Amino acid sequence: MPIVAPCEAKTNTTPDFPMGWFSVARANELSIGGVKRVIAFDRELALYRTESGIPVVQDAFCPHLGAHLGVDGRVVGERIQCPFHGWEFGKSGDCESIPYCEEIPSRAKLRTWPTIEKNGEVYMWFHPENSAPQWEVPELVELGHPDWSSPRHAEFDVPAHVQDIAENSCDPVHFAYVHRQPDVPPSEVTVEDNGRILHLHSDASKAEIPSQLHATVYQPGFALVRNTYGPGAEMVVYNSAQPVSRHETRMRWTLTVRREIEELAGDEVMNGIISGLGDDYPIWANKVHRHRPIFCKADETLVTFRKWVRQFYIKPSVASGNTESIANYSA
């Protein structure tokens, strides 16, 4: 009698988290002395800005009795103070003050994540084995440039793994079936010689509104999409991601256009992008992730993406005995 294979479920097919820089907040959400609760990578985190203006991301729970530092924690100078018993932790994560005890336990530490403020956002570096950052956050020169419009922002939660969202950009066929686009322009995906940055180019020169699209994907969850309609007519959409869990990603989108077409690219453009993503929601919310999908010959762009994305997943380090290593590293 044949054995029936168990039904696939999202819980046992979804990959863990890729390494890289990920957005955890807009910079203007965090004032001097501000404290914010953040959920990312299935972790509770505390984000705060010291009195000197430095953003810091640390594990949220106090090693004393477990209070959440991101909820009612208070910034005292360059430290964050636990709301429960007043223990104070510095930017390094070390406990530097206990108000009722001179001797500080050596194990009184918080994990501190590499953090940087750039492009109007706060990013944290995630690596499953706690390795140092391996590349810098790219600077988006259009933001704040006098030739470009003031940026428009949007933020929303997507019921999908961060990789599945990034994969959409290299899947031209889905535009015909999910977004009901009758004429999908040809697309080409290439990878830079260093192997880390992926480019997608789509030629829509024969469309009703001719354009050229160029997407630069720096990592899963960090991409810049440039639409060129002619000389002086450009639009840039930048998206960054906060992987909340394996099944939910918070997306932050930023839109800016050349001053020459500012009146033609208002809020309706951003609303159109968000509306288009709404078409993807039912697919994302109900699909499973295929580690080894069956591709056809015409899926060249998806094959290139899957080969490229593998580098962002880390194999378990058996020698180090690290229990936080990624188990499902196959893309």
Does the structure show a pLDDT above 60 at 147? yes
Q: Of the CATH numbers 3.40.605.10, 1.10.3720.10, 2.102.10.10, 3.40.630.30, which one belongs to the domain with range 30-126?
A: 2.102.10.10
| Joined tokens for residue 109 | 């530490």
pLDDT of residue 277: 75
Q: Report yes or no: 125 and 20 within 8 Å, Cβ to Cβ.
A: yes
Q: Which residue from 103, 122, 138, 98 is spatially nearest to 48, judged by alpha carbons?
A: 122
CB-neighbour burial class of residue 31 (10 A; exposed 0-12, middle 13-18, buried 19+): exposed
* 184 contacts 173 by C-beta, under 8 angstroms: yes
Residue carrying structure tokens 């160029």: 214
Is residue 325 predicted with pLDDT exceeding 50? no
Q: Where are the domains of the chain?
A: 30-126, 152-311
What is residue 263's predicted lDDT score, i.e. its pLDDT?
Answer: 77
- For residue 164, what pLDDT is reported? 94
Kindly state the tokens that stand for 37: 């609760």
CB 105 within 8 A of CB 97: no
152-311: which CATH number, 3.90.380.10, 3.40.50.740, 3.30.365.10, 3.40.50.300? Answer: 3.90.380.10
Q: What is the pTM of this model?
A: 0.89
Two structure tokens written together for 204: 């829509």
Strand ranges (E), the chain? 20-26, 35-40, 43-49, 55-59, 74-76, 79-81, 88-89, 95-97, 112-113, 115-118, 121-126, 152-158, 187-191, 198-204, 211-219, 222-230, 233-245, 248-257
pLDDT exceeds cutoff 90 at 230: no
State phi, psi for 177 to the nearest 5 degrees.
-100, -40
Q: How confident is the model at residue 233 (pLDDT cuts 50, 70, 90)?
A: confident
Q: Give the DSSP letter of residue 102.
A: S
Tell me the residue type at 70.
G
Q: Please give the backbone phi and psi of residue 278, each rounded to the nearest 5 degrees, phi first.
A: -60, -30
Q: Reduced to 3 states, what is the DSSP secondary structure of residue 272?
A: helix
| Average pLDDT of the residues of the chain | 89
Q: State the pLDDT confidence band at 319, using cuts at 50, 70 and 90.
A: very low
- Taking the C-alpha atoms of residue 55 and residue 49, their distance in angstroms, rounded to an integer, is 4
Q: Which of 220, 242, 324, 219 is nearest to 36 (CA)?
A: 242
Secondary structure (3-state) at 43? strand
Listed ranges 10-19, 218-227, 260-269; the one with the highest mean pLDDT: 218-227
Lowest mean pLDDT among 32-36, 39-43, 132-136, 178-182: 178-182
Contact 140, 224 (CB under 8 A): yes
For residues 180 and 189, give the distance between their C-alpha atoms in angstroms, rounded to a whole number: 22
Q: Which two tokens stand for residue 63?
A: 């090693």
The pairing of beta strand 115-118 with beta strand 211-219: unpaired
Q: What is the mean pLDDT of residues 138-150?
A: 93
Backbone angles phi, psi at 174, to 5 degrees: -65, -20
Distance CA 154, CA 150 (A): 13
